[in-house]
Amino acid sequence: MKIIFLTAILLSGCLVMAQPEELMNRSRRITPTVTATARVLPSVVNLSTERLLDSERTGDVFPFLDKRRGYSLGSGCIISKSGLVMTSAHVVHNAMKINVTLHDGQIFSADIIAADELNDLALLQLRGISPESSPPILMAPPGDLILGETVIAVGNPYGLGNTISRGVLSGIGRQLTYGGQVVFSDILQTDCAIHAGNSGGPLININGEMIGLTSSVVRGAEGIGFAIPLQRMENILARWLTPERFSNVSLGLIPGVRRMQDGELIFYIADVMNDSPAWAAGIRPGLKITAYNGTGITDLTKLCLSLSQVQAGQTITLTPPSGSILRITAEKISISDADATDTAEKRLGLKLRRMTPELARAMNYPPTTALIVSKPPPSAPEIKRGDLLIRLGDISRWPFTTIIMTIPSPRFSL
């Protein structure tokens, strides 16, 4: 007597009986690409922005911009349960309104927390999102790259959300030149199909781990796309994910990561703000660290997300290779109009001068109450001395917020 076992599967509201052979055939179709895609899609978002057009910067610089309507499309990836999203800076350049669509169709508005146009990276904050709706993307160890390995680009090409394209990692350490000078020498190259709207989406490996952020393509050259490597992205994030940016709390340190030639990952202190608790505790740039609050460091982004939530009066510990424990106690920052410009210099490296009628006339500016940049912040190389600061991301908490807009000056010396 032959016994046949049947399995019930619910498809589109109908009860379907599937034999074991059918299930086996389906399982054969679940390739590593399918698994990696399913793993990453919940963390990938689609961006739609409405923005002011800048006639000097559209077209050639940002070819994905619809110049007729002032709208642009892009992609991004969630990096924290609090709703922080990484994307390309050119996607949100001059954005007046940013709508973000999640994998499940939910739509949220977003604010720009920070942007670096030179590195083409931006950090957004989704408004009112729950931790359950914002699973962070998995990141590969920085610099863990294999030439020729299978990679997948995930994004929103031409508004067709949740689209993937598969290829290989075609090149590592490509150079980007501008004006005859090498600007970057770490660009990733891939033959994945990358189109308008893919910018800001993740480039992942076959394990479903992010290795870079898709950025651009070579016009007229099919199969040549580029991505910003994860190591550079994380080191820029480290300058943004600080308690000084998210609250009136000073800690004063910025960690970093680099991969050595032998493959070892080194975590270290990239910068220390002057007159900060970290400086007072003897922390100096270049110090290698192996543990934070007694736990070994394996992920720079997770470390920085934790640092950004430190509260005033809280003591953290760092452990260098020697094993000695260094303690830093965060301090509350008191901000008033009288010392705001001094605080901006101490905490951000940004020195400002108040606009006076005499200075406005000398620089051929209209009378205004804005501020003049006399020392640019190290994290924003596109800002120059003499630029006019006209708006900040959040006036109630400045100067720890993003510089949203500056007007280039005639480059007078200050």
The catalytic site residues sit at: 90, 120, 199
Selection from 22, 138, 17, 154 nearest residue 80 by Cα:
138
Alpha carbons 122 and 129: distance in angstroms, whole number: 19
Q: Which residues pair with 196 in a beta bridge?
A: none
Nearest alpha-carbon partner for 188 in 238, 232, 239, 123: 232
Tokens representing 211? 């290795």
340-378 exposure pattern, b = at least 16 Cβ within 10 A, e = fewer: ebebbbbbbbbbbeebeeeebeebebeeeebbbbbbbbe
Cβ within 8 Å of residue 114, ≥6 positions away = 122, 123, 240, 245, 402
303: left (phi over 0), alpha (psi -120 to 50) or beta: alpha
Joined tokens for residue 22? 């059918």
Q: In a 10 Å sphere around its CB, with 0-12 CB exposed, 13-18 middle and 19+ buried, how is residue 122 labelled?
A: buried
Closest C-alpha to 215, from 245, 273, 174? 174
109 and 100 in contact (C-beta within 8 Å)?
Answer: yes
Structure tokens at 193: 């199909």
What sign has the CA pseudo-torsion 109, 113, 117, 120? Answer: negative
Alpha-carbon distance 84 to 17, whole Å? 43
∠ at Cα 246 (240, 248), nearest 5°?
A: 120
Rounded CA-CA distance 286/274 in Å is 15
In this structure, the number of other CB atoms found within 10 A of the CB of residue 305 comes to: 18
